[in-house]
Chain A
Amino acid sequence: MAHQAHAYHMVDPSPWPLTGAVAALLVTSGTAIWFHFNSTILMTLGTMLLLLTMYQWWRDIIREGTFQGHHTPPVQKGLRYGMILFITSEVFFFLGFFWAFYHSSLAPTPDLGGCWPPAGITTLDPFEVPLLNTAVLLASGVTVTWAHHSIMEGDRKPAIQSLALTILLGFYFTFLQGLEYFEAPFTIADGVYGSTFFVATGFHGLHVIIGSTFLAVCLLRQIQYHFTSEHHFGFEAAAWYWHFVDVVWLFLYISIYWWGS
């Protein structure tokens, strides 16, 4: 009966990295096929495979950590580094879109009328729905912190309630943004204003959806007693991600909605 003489996790062979790579190939090439040959089969197949991979891979991680005890303190430290590095890479991702926005808005070209917002663009009032959205996300930051403290205190019911409230606030934000997108007087095709606005806020919205999903998984796990008051890294990772999403929104709000109006 062999035991490891170290605290690290030597992961068992797994097919999910391969299926993930194949999914990435199918999604990207499938999207190109869709653009040029009007066929969505490859892209759809790739997306299905991607979703399956994510579900099964992360399910395996939960099994290894929560049920099999492989997530010792050094292993958890590695997971923390990983999540921080991932979020850092996402920060750089958004930095690019902010660069694009400032490039075009600080020195508006003659084609725009030499002004920002460009001639002919009616911007959204930053003190209407966008301000409400800001309040919603800030409140969700409070509720997720409340959830964290509840988990650490071992308060099961408040943890479930505050986590559920956080997710509801996330849905409310997404719903409000959806309405704004529908009602907006300009589209993504409306010059560089439309492009910068919808690409930046669009990717942000996608991250809100991803973050809400991550939190929802945590809610299910909390209900099923996965988290202890000492060990709940999945939740912490979700909370970090959620705070990151909130901070990106604050920058978006100040730059694009307020200064840019």
Chain B
Amino acid sequence: MKGVLMYLKVFSFPPACILNKMSIDRVVSTDVKMAEDIQAKLEKYRTAPFDARFPNQNQTRNCWSNYLDYHRCQKALDAKGVDTAPCDWYKRVYKSLCPISWIQKWDDQREEGTFPGKI
């Protein structure tokens, strides 16, 4: 539980929406409440929201960043043996933004061990 909160602090996360709900300061939040919040977010998901870190027309970095963040989140939460559901936000975003050919190429590279990004 605390691990997930720590993870939320460390990793790049869509600033406004989830953090407001997550309220890191409120340690009172239980796993269940958080899971519910994430579920709510994911159910309401239509497409990737505006991310102020990538304000311009070229969204390559946005796609790349979320692809990396999803796989890093998976790796980190798997290592702790915790439910990886929070990671799905990143997956939704990169699936919305990235060209399918890029996702396929990067997935193949990860299989082969030739993926250039740091996961």
Binding site for B on A (CB under 8 A): 109-115, 118-120
Contact = CB atoms under 8 A, between A and B. Distances in A.
Contacts, number: 23
A114 B12 CA distance: 15
A113 B60 contact: no
Contacts of A110: 60, 64, 102, 106, 116-117
Chain B, interface size: which category?
under 10
From B68, B106, B117, name the one whose CB has the most chain A CB atoms within 10 angstroms.
Answer: B117
Contacts of A112: 116
B46 interface: no
Contacts of B68: 114
A119 B60 contact: no
Contact of A119 (B64, B106, B116): B116
11 contacts: A109-B60, A110-B64, A110-B106, A110-B116, A113-B116, A113-B118, A114-B64, A114-B68, A114-B117, A118-B116, A119-B118
Contacts of B102: 110
Interface of B: 60-61, 64, 68, 102, 106, 116-118
Given A110-B106, A111-B116, A113-B117, 12 more contacts: A109-B60, A110-B60, A110-B116, A112-B116, A113-B116, A114-B61, A114-B64, A114-B68, A114-B116, A115-B118, A119-B118, A120-B116
Nearest to B106: A110
A111 B61 CA distance: 12
B63 to A, nearest CB: 8
Contacts of B106: 110
A114 B64 CA distance: 8
Contacts of A109: 60
Contacts of A113: 116-118
Contacts of A118: 116
A112 B64 CA distance: 12
Residue from B102, B106, B116 whose CB has the most chain A CB atoms within 10 Å: B116
A110 B116 CA distance: 7
A110 B68 CA distance: 10
Closest 9 CB pairs of A and B: A113-B116, A119-B116, A110-B64, A113-B117, A114-B64, A112-B116, A114-B117, A111-B116, A113-B118
A119 to B, nearest CB: 4
Nearest to A113: B116
B69 to A, nearest CB: 12
A119 B106 CA distance: 14
Contacts of A115: 118
B78 to A, nearest CB: 22
